[in-house]
């Protein structure tokens, strides 16, 4: 569930910051080990002399350099320095928040393939939660969905190997593989005493991020599954096709946007999707340390869709980029939100490329809705509450950002940044579209949109 901005590695040196590049091209290990703590000590001295009243941020380098020298000189086995330093960087990132991480070359390749929306595996999005490899979302039509795996399920083992305290990279490598090959997983589901074992056949997982259906009365159902490369373009094309098809039947009269189970993706795609329906004003802003504005993204009048009534569906798995869209449409009064409070991932991760093909995924800011609400650990509260009855009596409790160990807290941005109150959504109308036959939330959202078209719905 990530809002990602991919950056190339750029280095600069000024009076306030130093960037160090260490090259290991000498066989004189003892001299190198002696030089590292000396260099660190000199840097500490320089930084302290420039700011005597402040503790230098580089002071811990002396401790790190000394620990590294002890390991290289005294450890019982020969040490791969690159591996040790990589482990140190990984530990640094893991000490921050749940979404910051060091990515080795293979992990970075996986991240980029996910952004492109095609990979071979079982069709789940996973993360580490309190030491357990946990399913965050299940891709419709994939092997995991067909086997009945659910968000919140925790892996006990993968092909007989224990999955507790596993690195996410190792887990992904075990789960992914050639299409047609099989993988056996054992999972623990909250509320169920016995573990569940499933044999899954890997397949190419093509995530089609946009799905559209034309409903009766000029209504359009638009489901956005992910914010990957091309989502905004596909959404725009789908709406163009809907306009053409409905032109002779009175045109488009209303839109139902489904953002449920959308774990997010690319920030710019979320901005462009929001821009389809907004003609002016802020879509989202990002703020760094001390609430300082880093960036602000605004809507443009050109290309804005007509002022169709819009209802947007959200749930506990609506996260990150999809929360940006929901918050922008809600704050601008452009849509009525129906469903339950969203996940609450309101932080932005920048990916900094490192030498050797690795990267550092680092949380650099929080994002805010147009009215100044911080979504981080708060989520987006719908205007109209509509619960979805669980399809499995043993389904786990919803997993949200505030339950994650080490999560960032919310930071409000003034008195306007208050969570709105919700009231119960009206009951479903009859008949509902066939595609919503087993979907009570969608039925109630459809009823809200239909009421708006007849002039009886909530106006914003």
Residues designated as active site: 320, 331, 345
Rounded to 5 degrees, φ, ψ at 299 are -85, 155
Q: Give the residue carrying structure tokens 């039947």.
A: 249
Of 155, 199, 152, 163, the closest CA to residue 394 belongs to: 152
Contact call for residues 44 and 15 (beta carbons, < 8 A):
no
- Tokens 């109209």 map to which residue? 384
First to last CA, the chain: 29
Q: In the structure encoding, which two tokens stand for residue 447, read together? A: 């009823």
Owner of token pair 């016995």 = 194
Distance (Å, rounded) from C-alpha 94 to C-alpha 91? Answer: 5
Using CA atoms, how far apart are residues 427 and 440, in angstroms rounded to an integer? 9
- What is the CB-side half-sphere exposure of residue 231 using CA atoms within 13 A? 31
Nearest to 313 by CA among 439, 229, 427: 439
**Residues in CB range of 441: below 8 A, 6 or more apart:** 260, 313, 315, 338, 339, 386, 387, 388
Q: How far apart are CA 310 and CA 446, in angstroms?
A: 10
Cα gap 417→374, rounded to integer Å: 7
For residue 203, give Cα distances in angstroms to 119, 144, 200, 330. Answer: 8, 10, 9, 38
**Rounded to an integer, what distance in angstroms lies between the CA atom of residue 187 and that of residue 196?**
5
């Amino acid at each position: 569930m990530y809002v990602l901005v991919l950056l190339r590695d750029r280095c600069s040196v000024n009076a306030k910051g130093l960037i160090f590049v260490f090259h290991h091209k000498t066989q004189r290990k003892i001299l190198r080990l002696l030089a590292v703590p000396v260099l660190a000590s000199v840097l500490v001295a320089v930084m302290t002399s420039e700011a005597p009243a402040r503790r230098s941020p580089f002071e811990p380098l002396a401790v790190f350099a000394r620990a590294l020298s002890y390991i290289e000189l005294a450890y019982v086995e020969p040490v791969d320095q690159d591996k040790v330093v990589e482990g140190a960087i990984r530990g640094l990132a893991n000490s921050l928040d749940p979404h910051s991480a060091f990515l080795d070359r293979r992990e970075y390749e996986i991240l980029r393939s996910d952004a492109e929306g095609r990979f071979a595996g079982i069709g789940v999005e996973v993360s580490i939660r309190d030491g357990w490899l946990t399913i965050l979302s299940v891709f419709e039509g994939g092997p995991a969905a067909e086997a009945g795996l659910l968000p919140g399920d925790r892996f006990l083992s993968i092909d007989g190997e224990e999955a507790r305290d596993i690195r996410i990279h190792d887990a992904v490598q075990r789960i992914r593989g050639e299409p047609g090959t099989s993988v056996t997983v054992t999972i623990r589901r909250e509320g169920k005493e016995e573990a569940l074992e499933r044999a899954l056949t890997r397949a190419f997982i093509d995530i089609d991020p946009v799905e559209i259906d034309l409903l009766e009365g000029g209504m359009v159902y638009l489901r956005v599954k992910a914010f990957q490369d091309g989502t905004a373009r596909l959404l725009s094309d789908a709406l163009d096709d809907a306009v053409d098809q409905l032109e002779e039947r009175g045109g488009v009269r209303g839109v139902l946007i489904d953002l449920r189970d959308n774990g997010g993706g690319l920030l710019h795609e979320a901005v462009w999707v929001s821009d389809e329906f907004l003609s002016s004003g802020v879509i989202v802003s990002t703020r760094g340390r001390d609430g300082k504005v880093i960036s602000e993204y605004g809507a443009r009048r050109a290309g804005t869709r007509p002022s169709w009534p819009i209802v947007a569906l959200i749930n506990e798995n609506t996260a990150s980029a999809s929360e940006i869209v929901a918050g922008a449409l809600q704050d601008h009064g452009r849509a009525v939100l129906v469903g339950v409070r969203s996940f609450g991932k309101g932080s932005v991760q920048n990916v900094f490329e490192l030498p050797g093909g690795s990267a550092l995924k680092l949380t650099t800011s929080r994002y805010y809705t147009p009215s100044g609400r911080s979504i981080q650990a708060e989520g987006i509260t719908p205007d109209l509450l509509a619960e979805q009855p669980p399809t499995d009596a043993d389904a786990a409790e919803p997993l949200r950002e505030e339950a994650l160990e080490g999560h960032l807290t919310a930071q409000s941005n003034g008195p306007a940044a208050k969570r709105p109150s919700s009231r119960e959504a009206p009951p479903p109308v009859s008949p509902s579209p066939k595609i919503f036959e087993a979907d009570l939330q969608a039925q109630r959202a459809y009823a809200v949109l239909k009421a708006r078209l007849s002039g009886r719905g909530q106006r914003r």
